[in-house]
Structure 1
Amino acid sequence: MTTESAPTTQGNWAKQHLPEIGLGGVAIGNEFEYVSDEAAEQTLEAAWKAGVRYYDVSPWYGLGLAERRYGYFLHNQKRDEYFISSKVGKLLRASKHNKGAEYYPHAHSPNDVIFDYTADGVRRSIEDSLQRLGIDSLDIVFVHDLSPDNKLLPTDWQEQFAIAEKGAFPELSKLRDEGIIKGWGLGVNCPEPILKSIDVADPDVFLLASQYSLIDHEYALKNVFPKVRERNIALVMGSNLNAGFLSGSDRYNYDQKKPIKPEYLEKRDKLQAIARQFDVDLRTASLQFALFPDVAVSVIPGARTPEQVTENVASLTVQIPDGFWQALKEQQLIDAEAPTTRMKP
């Protein structure tokens, strides 16, 4: 498919059905720190009680741990009462000599990762995910981390993309057309594969991770949004707190070892100062900001405690003064064209 092809209408499913807030699965997969099975269960229960009905997970999160935990909770719920997305591209294989401790030291997984963006790999990945989850279907499938920032790929990301173009992409379209899934797209931290996939395939919903936050959003606003809008593609917004950075953590996005850029720390300080001036919680503002664009359908902040998940849900109901957003624009902390009110998809 080329850019001259007719715009897809499949994105309308996500726009019509996905709730505005979901629960991301990274923290429950023990990426940042140890979370017990009991604590994970309590967080999932709190999410359900708070009205969360969209759950995003991946084989990668905890190398199977997050999917097992989600499944332990969700298999007791009626399947037609919630939506779930998982990811393909990374198959798990148990081994006595695995690298689980290297990738996820807090997850205690016995698995290694095998990158596979072929059609057969997609089918195998979905089947494996359904077994770990203990459910019979996925709503959305994201092709995971097929991106220039993924240093674990066995070859250059564009070589892997070419494999997906011939394998994963048409297979996922086939699964969608057969009614096995509702939609598919990419779940990536960089814009290049998103823009490239629109030119060669017919995705209908992307997980736009680490690309639209109060810290960094200009490229997505001016380059990604117009193209997905033209093709009627929906966006699930991920890592809008930059993996907790905007709520006060000492990491930026997902690399805990990489030093945080001084300009990001300086910008956070300025954002926090204005937030204090207007008595606004910066986490609340960050989540609302990510949901304002008309192409955004859901935000999926992660949570490792019941308190975090209920606070995230409550954040969408808070009324933030217009003056706060105006002050951010006046001090050039957010782009002048960035939406500061909810624009329905």
Structure 2
Amino acid sequence: MSLTDIVPGRLGFGTAPLGNMFRAIPDADVEATLEAAWEEGIRFFDTAPFYGAGLAEERLGTLLSTKPRDSFVLSTKVGRVILDEPESSEPDFGEKGGLFEHGNPNKILHEWTADATERSIEGSLKRLGVDRLDIVWVHDIAQDFHGDLWVQKFEEARTGAFRVLTRLRDEGVIRGWGLGVNRTEPIEMTLELDEPRPDGFLLAGRYTLLDHEHALQRLLPMAQEQNVSMVVGGPYSSGVLAGGTNFEYQQAPPEIVERVGKIKALTDEHGISIKAAALQFSLAHPVSVAAIPGATRPSRITEDTAALDQSVPAAFWHELRARGLVNPAAPLPIDA
């Protein structure tokens, strides 16, 4: 089944910030933000056990417990299993190491085996308080792995998580599965397999105004040829395209700040928000079905829905391309 048959609307909600990403977020702010998303008509919610060691799933489950299960689409991820025991040492999550230091204290295992996949799904269902999932992504396969270890981990996922999720989809337990990653290579390798076949993928941070060249080279042409769809994660590049200071989970470097400044100057010239430019760019590729920005304030939800609906003049897109601020091969809304 294609993601286009599963995902409702072009705007979803990414719950990574609700796992206390970067900072501790009061429960009241979380509740208000999720309610604002629902009131704005958002019905696609994406989460993961990794986000605060289960905290984001728990918080999302509190909202969803008040809504009819058939009224929303829910995706979560496998590849990290949350244990009941506390973490006793400094966890090694590579570039994501300090993201969720304010989350739950539980120990997290990295594992993509069949057993771990089933345990992960069972844990997610419990934390979310639901009886079924719509989409399951294989999370961060190859994150910070290199050489033989990367091959080993991919093979673990291919013979473990991929096969379990394919079986669950074929049995009708879930509606679809794919990869949820911030690198293009594991998706490309998966699309090269004869089987099992994913229904789509969630690509975080790799198809934005600031970072899209690599995805355009090989991944997106492959996906388009095979009719495999993409959900865009992190359309604001960790926040720097939405007035924040982070890029790739770190403080944005000077060259990124400079490029954002050029884009912002152009959006100001045309009287549009930079969020509108960022969101509509990520959704302009034919493979894109939805974008899932995160938020921790109701006002951000209002901004996101306005950005999606804002009328962006064709002159802006022409100038964006003419000034070399996007790859010439990147599809723009004016090309549709």
Shared fold per TM-score greater than 0.5? yes
1:289 to 265, 281, 286: 281
1:118 matched to which residue of 2?
A: 113
Determine helix, strand or coil for the equivalent of 1:138: coil
| Cα 1:292–1:167 shift into 2, 3 Å | same
The reply to whether residue 34 of structure 1 matches residue 34 of structure 2 is: no
1:17 matched to which residue of 2?
A: 6
The answer to whether the Cα contact below 8 Å between 1:303 and 1:309 also exists between their aligned partners in 2 is yes
2:224 matched to which residue of 1?
A: 229
2:210 to 202, 212, 215: 215
Q: TM-score, normalised by structure 1?
A: 0.90
2:314 matched to which residue of 1?
A: 322
Deviation at 1:40, TM superposition (A): 0.5
1:55 matched to which residue of 2?
A: 45
Question: What is the aligned residue count?
Answer: 326
Letter in 1 for 2:164: E
The answer to whether the Cα contact below 8 Å between 2:13 and 2:294 also exists between their aligned partners in 1 is yes
Counterparts of 2:245 and 2:233, CA distance in 1: 19
1:86 to 76, 84, 88: 76
Counterparts of 2:121 and 2:232, CA distance in 1: 22
Counterparts of 1:188 and 1:175, CA distance in 2: 21
| Cα 1:171–1:225 shift into 2, 3 Å | same
The answer to whether the Cα contact below 8 Å between 1:185 and 1:205 also exists between their aligned partners in 2 is yes
Deviation at 1:126, TM superposition (A): 0.6
Letter in 1 for 2:248: N
1:145 matched to which residue of 2?
A: 140
1:169 matched to which residue of 2?
A: 162
2:94 matched to which residue of 1?
A: none
The answer to whether the Cα contact below 8 Å between 1:94 and 1:110 also exists between their aligned partners in 2 is no
1:278 to 270, 280, 288: 270
1:76 matched to which residue of 2?
A: 66
Letter in 2 for 1:105: E
| Cα 1:192–1:96 shift into 2, 3 Å | closer
The answer to whether the Cα contact below 8 Å between 2:53 and 2:82 also exists between their aligned partners in 1 is yes
The answer to whether the Cα contact below 8 Å between 2:240 and 2:252 also exists between their aligned partners in 1 is no
Counterparts of 1:320 and 1:340, CA distance in 2: 11
1:3 matched to which residue of 2?
A: none
Deviation at 1:309, TM superposition (A): 1.2
1:305 matched to which residue of 2?
A: 297
2:123 matched to which residue of 1?
A: 128
Determine helix, strand or coil for the equivalent of 2:45: strand
Counterparts of 1:319 and 1:185, CA distance in 2: 32
Counterparts of 2:71 and 2:138, CA distance in 1: 24
1:182 matched to which residue of 2?
A: 175
Q: Greater CA deviation, 215-224 or 127-136?
A: 215-224
Letter in 1 for 2:5: Q
Deviation at 1:100, TM superposition (A): 7.9
The answer to whether the Cα contact below 8 Å between 1:99 and 1:111 also exists between their aligned partners in 2 is no
Deviation at 1:99, TM superposition (A): 5.0
Q: Greater CA deviation, 213-222 or 183-192?
A: 213-222
Counterparts of 1:100 and 1:184, CA distance in 2: 31
Determine helix, strand or coil for the equivalent of 2:224: helix
Determine helix, strand or coil for the equivalent of 2:231: strand
1:6 matched to which residue of 2?
A: none
Gaps of at least 5 residues in structure 1 are 1-9
Counterparts of 2:85 and 2:5, CA distance in 1: 42
Determine helix, strand or coil for the equivalent of 2:237: coil
The reply to whether residue 340 of structure 1 matches residue 336 of structure 2 is: no
Letter in 1 for 2:65: H
Instruction: Output one character per residue of 1:143-192: Cα deviation in whole Å (capped at 9) or x when no partner.
Output: 00102x436x9x82321111111111111111100001111111111110
| Cα 1:52–1:126 shift into 2, 3 Å | same
Q: CA RMSD in A?
A: 1.8
Counterparts of 1:244 and 1:335, CA distance in 2: 21
Q: TM-score, normalised by structure 2?
A: 0.92
Letter in 1 for 2:246: R
The answer to whether the Cα contact below 8 Å between 1:41 and 1:73 also exists between their aligned partners in 2 is yes
The answer to whether the Cα contact below 8 Å between 1:100 and 1:110 also exists between their aligned partners in 2 is no
